[in-house]
Amino acid sequence: MSKYITYEQSGVSIDAGEEMVNQISSAVASTFGPRVIQSHNAFAGMFRLDYDERLFKRNYKNPVLVACTDGVGSKVQLAEKLKRFDTVGIDLVAMNVNDMLVQGAEPLFFLDYLGVHKLEPELVAELVKGVARGCREANCALIGGETAEMPDTYSAGDFDMAGFAVGVVERKKIITGETIQKGDVILGLASSGLHSNGYTLARNICFKQAKLKVTDCPDGLDGAALGDVLLEPTRIYVQPIIKLLSRYKVKRIVHGMAHITGGGLVGNIPRVLPKNCDAAIKKTSWPMPKIFTFLQKTGPVEEGEMFRVFNMGIGFVLIVAEDFAESVTGKLTKYGERVYKIGRITSGTGKVILK
How far is residue 276's CA from residue 269's CA, in Å, rounded to a whole number? Answer: 14
What's the mean pLDDT in 246-268?
94
Burial code (b: 16+ CB inside 10 Å, e: under 16) for 39-48 equals eeeeeebebe
Task: Give residue-wise pLDDT tens across range 262-301.
Answer: 999 999 999 999 999 999 999 999 999 999 999 999 999 9
Cα dihedral 355→335→262→130 (10° resolution): 150
Q: Which residues pair with 260 in a beta bridge?
A: none
Higher pLDDT: 7 or 263? It is: 263
Which of 44-53, 57-66, 91-100, 263-272 is predicted least confidently? 44-53
Supply the pLDDT for residue 157.
86
Supply the pLDDT for residue 50.
73
Which of 58-62, 111-115, 134-138, 249-253 is predicted least confidently? 58-62
- Whether the per-residue pLDDT at 6 is higher than 60: the answer is no
Question: How does residue 13 score in pLDDT terms, banded at 50, 70 and 90?
Answer: low
**What's the sign of the alpha-carbon dihedral 335, 339, 343, 349?**
negative
Task: Give residue-wise pLDDT tens across range 334-346.
Answer: 999 999 999 999 9
Supply the pLDDT for residue 54.
57
Look at the domain 14-50+61-173 and name its fold. Answer: 60s Ribosomal Protein L30; Chain: A; (3.30.1330)
Task: Give residue-wise pLDDT tens across range 101-132.
Answer: 999 999 999 999 999 998 888 889 999 999 99
CATH of 185-354, one of 3.20.20.370, 3.40.640.10, 3.90.650.10, 3.40.50.720: 3.90.650.10
For 173, the 3-state DSSP assignment is helix
How far is residue 157's CA from residue 79's CA, in Å, rounded to a whole number? Answer: 11
Supply the pLDDT for residue 56.
53
Strand 185-190 vs strand 339-347: parallel, antiparallel, or unpaired?
Answer: antiparallel
Cα dihedral 223→227→228→229 (10° resolution): 70
pTM of the model: 0.92
How far is residue 124's CA from residue 71's CA, in Å, rounded to a whole number? Answer: 16
How far from the centroid of its chain's Cα atoms is residue 40's Cα? 29
- Altogether, the residues listed in the chain come to a count of 355
List the chain domain ranges: 14-50+61-173, 185-354
What's the mean pLDDT in 300-322?
97
